Chains A and B, each alone.
Chain A
Amino acid sequence: MSEKVLIELTVNGVEHELVVEPRRTLVDALRHDLRLTGTHVGCEHGVCGACTVLVDGQPARACLMFAVQAEGREVRTVESLAEPDGTLSDLQQCFADNHGLQCGFCTPGFLMLAEGFLAEEPSPTREQVREVVSSNYCRCTGYQTIIDSISACAAQRCGGAAKEGAQ
Chain B
Amino acid sequence: MTATASERTLRGGSWVGRSVQRREDPRLLTGSGRFLDDITLPGMLHAQFVRSTVAAGSVTALSLDAARAMRGVRGVFAARDLGLTGIIAGLDRPLTEFRPTEMPVLAQDRVRYVGEPLAIAVADDAYLVEDALELVEVEYEVGAAITSIPGALAEGAPLVHDEVPANTFLDVSMFDTEGVDQAFAEAAVVVDVQCSTGRQNALPIETRGALAYWDARDEQLIIYTCSQVPHQVRTVAARSLGLDERKIRVVVPDMGGGFGIKCVVGREEIAVAAAALRLKRPVKWIEDRRDALTASFLAREQHYDAKAAFDADGTLLALQADVLCDMGAYSCYPFTAGIEPLMASAEMPGVYQLPAYRVRGRAITSNKAPTAPYRGVSRPQYVMVIERLMERAARELGMDAVELRRRNLITVFPYTGINNITYDPGSYLESLNLCEQVLQDEGWYEYQAEAAQQGRHVGIGYSCFSERTGYGSAAFAARKMDVVPGFDISEIKMDTSGTVVVTTGTLSHGQSHETTMAQIVADKLGLDINQVKIVQGDTDRITYGFGSFASRSITIGGSAVSLAAVKLGDKLLEIAAHLLDTHIDNVRLGEGRVELVDEPGTGLDYRAIAEVAHLRAQLLPKGVEPGLAATASFDVNGDGTFSNATHGAVVELHPGTGKVEILRYYCVEDCGVAINPKVVDGQARGGIAQGIAGALFEEVTYDANGQPLVASFIDYRVPTACEIPDVGISHLETPCLFTESGAKGAGEGGTIGAPAAVLNAVNDGLRHTGVELNDTPIHPHVVAAALATATATAREDSPA
Q: Which residues of A are in contact with B by a Cβ distance under 8 Å?
A: 1, 21, 23-24, 28, 31-32, 35-45, 47-48, 50, 77-79, 81-82, 86, 88, 92, 95-97, 99, 101-108, 111, 130-131, 133-147
**Whole-angstrom CA separation of A40 from B723 in the bound complex:** 24
Taking the closest CB of chain A, its distance from the CB of B648, in whole angstroms, is 16
B-chain residues with CB within 8 Å of residue A131 when the two chains form the complex: 721-722
B681 and chain A: residue at smallest CB distance: A99
A-chain residues with CB within 8 Å of residue B718 when the two chains form the complex: 48, 137
Contact of B37 among A41, A103, A146 (CB under 8 A): A41
Contact of A38 among B30, B203, B689 (CB under 8 A): B30
Q: Is the CB of B255 within 8 A of A103?
A: yes
Q: Is the interface of A mostly helix, strand, loop or mixed?
A: loop
Q: Is the CB of A105 within 8 A of B205?
A: yes
A-chain residues with CB within 8 Å of residue B37 when the two chains form the complex: 31, 37, 40-41
**9-residue interface stretch from B21-29, B57-65, B74-82:** B21-29
Residue B38 lies at the interface, judged by CB distance under 8 Å to chain A: yes
Taking the closest CB of chain B, its distance from the CB of A154, in whole angstroms, is 15
Q: A43-B713, A95-B25, A99-B681 are in contact. Are A21 and B127 (CB under 8 A)?
A: yes
**Whole-angstrom CA separation of A137 from B289 in the bound complex:** 13
Q: A39-B31, A104-B24, A144-B727 are in contact. Are A139 and B289 (CB under 8 A)?
A: no
Q: Is the CB of A48 within 8 A of B509?
A: no
A-chain residues with CB within 8 Å of residue B724 when the two chains form the complex: 142-144
Q: Is the CB of B204 within 8 A of A103?
A: yes
Q: A1-B131, A92-B30, A103-B257 are in contact. Are A44 and B289 (CB under 8 A)?
A: yes
Q: Is the CB of A32 within 8 A of B40?
A: yes
**Whole-angstrom CA separation of A146 from B512 in the bound complex:** 17
Q: A47-B714, A106-B205 are in contact. Are A140 and B32 (CB under 8 A)?
A: no
Residue B176 lies at the interface, judged by CB distance under 8 Å to chain A: no
23 contacts between A and B (CB under 8 A): A1-B131, A32-B40, A42-B207, A43-B289, A43-B713, A47-B713, A50-B205, A88-B26, A88-B29, A95-B25, A97-B21, A102-B511, A103-B205, A104-B29, A104-B510, A105-B257, A139-B689, A139-B690, A140-B257, A141-B685, A141-B689, A142-B686, A144-B724
Q: Is the CB of B720 within 8 A of A40?
A: no
Q: Is the CB of A141 within 8 A of B257?
A: no
**Whole-angstrom CA separation of A135 from B512 in the bound complex:** 25
**Whole-angstrom CA separation of A11 from B306 in the bound complex:** 60
Q: Is the CB of A142 within 8 A of B510?
A: no
Beyond the given A1-B127, A96-B21, A134-B723, could you list 4 further A-B residue pairs with CB under 8 A, ordered by the A residue number? A78-B30, A104-B33, A105-B256, A139-B259
Q: Using a CB-CB cutoff of 8 Å, which residues 648-699 of chain B contact chain A? A: 678-679, 681-682, 685-690
Contact of A104 among B126, B203, B254, B679 (CB under 8 A): B254
Q: Is the CB of A102 within 8 A of B31?
A: no
Q: Is the CB of A140 within 8 A of B31?
A: no
B-chain residues with CB within 8 Å of residue A137 when the two chains form the complex: 205, 713, 718, 720
List of 9 A-B pairs having minimum Cβ-Cβ separation, nearest first: A38-B31, A105-B256, A104-B28, A103-B510, A142-B689, A142-B685, A102-B510, A47-B713, A134-B720
A-chain residues with CB within 8 Å of residue B712 when the two chains form the complex: 43, 45, 47
Q: A23-B127, A40-B206, A139-B203 are in contact. Are A102 and B30 (CB under 8 A)?
A: no
A-chain residues with CB within 8 Å of residue B510 when the two chains form the complex: 102-104, 140
Q: Is the CB of A140 within 8 A of B682?
A: yes
B-chain residues with CB within 8 Å of residue A82 when the two chains form the complex: 29-30
**Whole-angstrom CA separation of A95 from B38 in the bound complex:** 22
Taking the closest CB of chain B, its distance from the CB of A36, in whole angstroms, is 7
Q: Is the CB of A105 within 8 A of B35?
A: yes
Taking the closest CB of chain A, its distance from the CB of B726, in whole angstroms, is 5
Q: Is the CB of A134 within 8 A of B721?
A: yes
Q: A139-B257, A139-B690 are in contact. Are A96 and B22 (CB under 8 A)?
A: yes
Taking the closest CB of chain B, its distance from the CB of A80, in whole angstroms, is 9
B-chain residues with CB within 8 Å of residue A103 when the two chains form the complex: 204-206, 254-257, 509-510
Taking the closest CB of chain A, its distance from the CB of B205, in whole angstroms, is 5
Q: Which residues of B are in contact with A by a Cβ distance under 8 Å?
A: 21-22, 24-26, 28-35, 37-38, 40, 126-127, 131, 203-207, 254-257, 259, 286, 288-289, 509-512, 678-679, 681-682, 685-690, 712-714, 718, 720-724, 726-727, 750
**Whole-angstrom CA separation of A88 from B26 in the bound complex:** 7
**Whole-angstrom CA separation of A77 from B29 in the bound complex:** 11
Q: Is the CB of B682 within 8 A of A92?
A: no
**Whole-angstrom CA separation of A107 from B27 in the bound complex:** 11
A25 and chain B: residue at smallest CB distance: B127
B-chain residues with CB within 8 Å of residue A78 when the two chains form the complex: 29-31
Contact of B722 among A39, A107, A134 (CB under 8 A): A134
Q: A1-B127, A44-B288, A95-B29 are in contact. Are A143 and B206 (CB under 8 A)?
A: no
Q: A130-B722, A143-B724 are in contact. Are A101 and B28 (CB under 8 A)?
A: yes
Q: Is the CB of B289 within 8 A of A42?
A: yes
Taking the closest CB of chain B, its distance from the CB of A90, in whole angstroms, is 12
**Whole-angstrom CA separation of A119 from B724 in the bound complex:** 26
A77 and chain B: residue at smallest CB distance: B31
Taking the closest CB of chain A, its distance from the CB of B251, in whole angstroms, is 17
Q: Is the CB of A99 within 8 A of B22?
A: yes
A96 and chain B: residue at smallest CB distance: B25
Q: Is the CB of A79 within 8 A of B30?
A: yes
Interface centre among B685, B689, B714, B721 (most CB of A within 10 A): B721
B-chain residues with CB within 8 Å of residue A40 when the two chains form the complex: 35, 37, 205-206, 256
Q: Is the CB of B721 within 8 A of A143?
A: yes
**Whole-angstrom CA separation of A41 from B254 in the bound complex:** 14
B691 and chain A: residue at smallest CB distance: A142
A-chain residues with CB within 8 Å of residue B723 when the two chains form the complex: 134
Q: Is the CB of A102 within 8 A of B686?
A: yes
A-chain residues with CB within 8 Å of residue B40 when the two chains form the complex: 32, 35
Q: Is the CB of A139 within 8 A of B686?
A: yes
B682 and chain A: residue at smallest CB distance: A99
**Whole-angstrom CA separation of A135 from B509 in the bound complex:** 23
Q: Is the CB of B726 within 8 A of A139?
A: no
Q: Is the CB of A99 within 8 A of B29?
A: no
A-chain residues with CB within 8 Å of residue B205 when the two chains form the complex: 40, 42, 48, 50, 103, 105-106, 137-139
Q: Is the CB of A146 within 8 A of B31?
A: no
Contact of A111 among B29, B126, B721 (CB under 8 A): B29
A21 and chain B: residue at smallest CB distance: B127
Q: A105-B256, A105-B257, A144-B724 are in contact. Are A36 and B289 (CB under 8 A)?
A: no
**Whole-angstrom CA separation of A114 from B679 in the bound complex:** 23
A-chain residues with CB within 8 Å of residue B681 when the two chains form the complex: 99
Q: Is the CB of A141 within 8 A of B682?
A: yes
B-chain residues with CB within 8 Å of residue A108 when the two chains form the complex: 31
**Whole-angstrom CA separation of A77 from B31 in the bound complex:** 9
Q: Is the CB of B726 within 8 A of A144?
A: yes
A-chain residues with CB within 8 Å of residue B21 when the two chains form the complex: 96-97
B-chain residues with CB within 8 Å of residue A38 when the two chains form the complex: 30-33
B34 and chain A: residue at smallest CB distance: A37
Taking the closest CB of chain A, its distance from the CB of B43, in whole angstroms, is 15
Q: Is the CB of B713 within 8 A of A45?
A: yes
Q: Is the CB of B257 within 8 A of A143?
A: no
A-chain residues with CB within 8 Å of residue B30 when the two chains form the complex: 38, 78-79, 81-82, 86, 88, 92
Contact of A24 among B127, B257, B690 (CB under 8 A): B127
Q: Is the CB of A139 within 8 A of B679?
A: no
**Whole-angstrom CA separation of A41 from B206 in the bound complex:** 8
A-chain residues with CB within 8 Å of residue B288 when the two chains form the complex: 44
**Whole-angstrom CA separation of A135 from B722 in the bound complex:** 9
